[in-house]
């Protein structure tokens, strides 16, 4: 059900984005569905790849959701603010903006996008006080050739965007909907303390709660595709699902390409 007339590149860099997966494994996507639902939005790579007519998008990260809403509501204002950031970008300016607490919707969104493009490796990380604390990276481009905020805003105007817990969003799924679930997880420690390493990122209780929400949606007739770490504990958690597939990709998180090893991830489908 991909709208091939629309081609939008994600405007955010986001660890774990799945555009690579959907372009390579397009056959796993249902041919038809009523509504697309994504409860862990991130860079929205899957959403932009599919460009569905109807969608419900959400994430618990309020800064992230604010960025999408701001672009949807006034993309020209975001473009203007990014132009200002580009003119002033530098090490001192980066840390000055990082420490500022903008209250306005558009200033806050432009800060989020500016930091995402100029911080180290596009990483999103906050300290115990909830403040973004990633150091400056090596990229100096605030404005990208792939930016198309006008088309992005047009696409987002037809969807519902919420800031909420994943369970609330998945519970909206009904018969005929397609739910793409890509929770936070790391594959680096697939076989070395996976649960312990991921506990702060996405706890095991959250993993259990997610699997139960997915089961409920599946029982209501929704088709659900979950991505996760290919770890024995996750395989057991979804052992009753119709199809579990292991896929291999190359990790891109290491700074040196020579240290980017192949990692395995798990695809969990609620249908055959």
pLDDT tens-place string over residues 191-216? 444 444 444 568 888 999 999 999 99
User: Is a pLDDT exceeding 90 seen at residue 1?
Assistant: no
* Cβ atoms within 10 Å of 228's Cβ, excluding its own: 24
Residue 156 lies in a domain: no
- Please indicate whether residue 188 or residue 21 has the higher confidence score (pLDDT): 21
Q: What pLDDT is attached to residue 128?
A: 81
Is pLDDT at 102 greater than 60 in this prediction?
yes
Element (H, E) at 262: strand 262-269
Q: Place 4 in a pLDDT band, splitting at 50, 70 and 90.
A: low
Does any domain span residue 51? yes
Predicted local distance difference test score (pLDDT) of residue 190: 47
Which of 96, 130, 151 is at the close of a domain?
151
Last residue of a domain, one of 95, 123, 151: 151
Cβ–Cβ under 8 Å, residues 164 and 58 = yes
| pLDDT tens digits, 231-240 | 898 999 999 9
The whole-number pLDDT of residue 187 equals: 58
Domain that holds residue 67: 63-151
The total number of structural domains in the chain stands at 2
Contact 229, 265 (CB under 8 A): yes
Instruction: Report the side by side order of strands in the sheet with 178-181.
Output: 160-163, 55-59, 36-38, 178-181, 223-229, 262-269, 243-250
187 and 173 in a common domain:
yes
Q: Is the dihedral of CA 142, 21, 199, 55 positive or negative?
A: positive
Residues 137 and 182 in one domain: no
Residue with tokens 């603010």: 81
Q: 68 and 142, same structural domain?
A: yes
Q: Are 38 and 57 in contact (CB under 8 A)?
A: yes
**55 within domain boundaries:** yes
């Amino acid at each position: 059900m991909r709208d091939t007339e629309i081609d939008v590149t994600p405007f955010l860099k986001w660890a774990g984005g799945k555009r690579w997966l959907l372009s390579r494994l397009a056959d796993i996507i249902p041919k038809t569905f009523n509504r697309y639902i994504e409860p862990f939005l991130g860079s929205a790579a899957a959403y932009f790849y599919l460009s569905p007519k109807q969608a419900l998008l959400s994430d618990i990260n309020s800064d992230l959701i604010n960025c999408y809403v701001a672009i949807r509501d006034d993309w020209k204002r975001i473009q203007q603010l990014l132009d200002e950031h580009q003119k002033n970008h530098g090490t001192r300016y980066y840390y000055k903006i990082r420490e500022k607490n903008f209250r306005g919707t558009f200033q806050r969104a432009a800060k989020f996008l500016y930091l995402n493009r100029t911080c180290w490796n596009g990483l999103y990380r906050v300290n115990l006080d909830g403040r973004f604390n990633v150091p400056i990276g090596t990229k100096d481009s605030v404005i990208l050739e792939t930016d198309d905020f006008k088309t992005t805003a047009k696409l987002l105007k037809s969807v519902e965007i919420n800031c909420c817990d994943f369970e609330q969003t998945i519970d909206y799924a009904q018969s005929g909907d397609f739910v793409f679930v890509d929770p936070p997880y790391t594959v680096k420690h697939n076989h070395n303390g996976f649960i312990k390493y991921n506990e702060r990122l996405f706890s095991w209780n959250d993993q259990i709660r997610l699997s139960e929400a997915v089961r409920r949606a599946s029982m209501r007739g929704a088709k659900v595709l979950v991505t996760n770490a290919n770890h024995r504990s996750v395989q057991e958690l979804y052992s009753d699902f119709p199809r579990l597939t292991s896929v291999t990709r190359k990790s891109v998180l290491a700074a040196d390409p020579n240290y980017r090893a192949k990692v395995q991830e798990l695809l969990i489908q609620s249908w055959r």
